[in-house]
């Protein structure tokens, strides 16, 4: 697969929304989203990895637990660039939100995305997790709030 084809698949996937039913149909059965190891307590997995298409349904839970007004604020990220070679695409973007405590959050992200055929098979997420932790979970009260909201959202999803 060429880089332009890879970029097209990744672009379609993000346009559909990775956690949407259409987005989940665009990943392989053995799909993995590998998050930063230091954020494993937020993933429903001890290794900070989402496994399989259905695991993507957890992404909105994570975001809603961390950020206030997540659903209403989708125009809050800016893609800086996406480059691709072969079956690998790299996308850098920033995202800005407000925490549930009313604090501004603005972080930089880099996703390394692997495509197999016409489907996404792996995402490796890189971000400033120290900053993310400090702003979103840096006190016992903030941490308890995030983990409590996350448990409630996951329970509602089941």
Task: Map residue 102 onto helix, strand or coil.
Answer: coil
Average pLDDT, the chain: 91
**Mean of pLDDT values over 12-20:** 92
pLDDT band per the 50, 70, 90 thresholds, residue 11: very high
Question: Which residues contact residue 62 at a Cβ distance below 8 angstroms, ignoring those fewer than 6 apart?
Answer: 42, 43, 150
Percent of the chain at pLDDT exceeding 90: 72
Percent of the chain at pLDDT exceeding 70: 96
On whether the 3-157 domain is CATH 3.30.450.40, my answer is no
Q: Which of 31, 26, 32 is nearest to 14 (CA)?
A: 26
pLDDT band per the 50, 70, 90 thresholds, residue 120: very high
Taking the model in full, what pTM does it have?
0.90
Looking at residue 40, its pLDDT comes to 87
Sort 69 into a burial class: Cβ within 10 Å, 0-12 / 13-18 / 19+.
exposed
Sort 100 into a burial class: Cβ within 10 Å, 0-12 / 13-18 / 19+.
middle
Q: How many residues does the chain have?
A: 158
What residue spans define the domains of the chain? Answer: 3-157
Q: What is the DSSP letter of 139?
A: S
């Amino acid at each position: 697969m060429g880089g332009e084809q890879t970029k097209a698949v990744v672009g379609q996937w993000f346009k559909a929304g990775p956690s949407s039913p259409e987005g989940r149909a665009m990943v392989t059965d053995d799909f993995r989203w590998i998050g930063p190891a230091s954020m494993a307590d937020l993933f429903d997995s001890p290794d900070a990895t989402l496994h399989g298409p259905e695991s993507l349904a957890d992404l909105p839970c994570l975001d809603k637990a961390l950020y206030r007004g997540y659903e209403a604020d989708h125009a809050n990220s800016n893609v800086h660039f996406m480059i691709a070679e072969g079956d690998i695409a790299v996308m850098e973007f920033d995202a800005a939100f407000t925490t549930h405590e009313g604090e501004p959050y603005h972080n930089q992200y880099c996703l390394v995305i692997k495509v197999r055929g016409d489907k996404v098979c792996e995402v490796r997420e890189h971000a400033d997790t120290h900053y993310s932790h400090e702003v979103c979970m840096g006190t016992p009260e903030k941490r308890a709030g995030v983990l409590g909201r996350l448990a409630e959202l996951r329970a509602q999803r089941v």
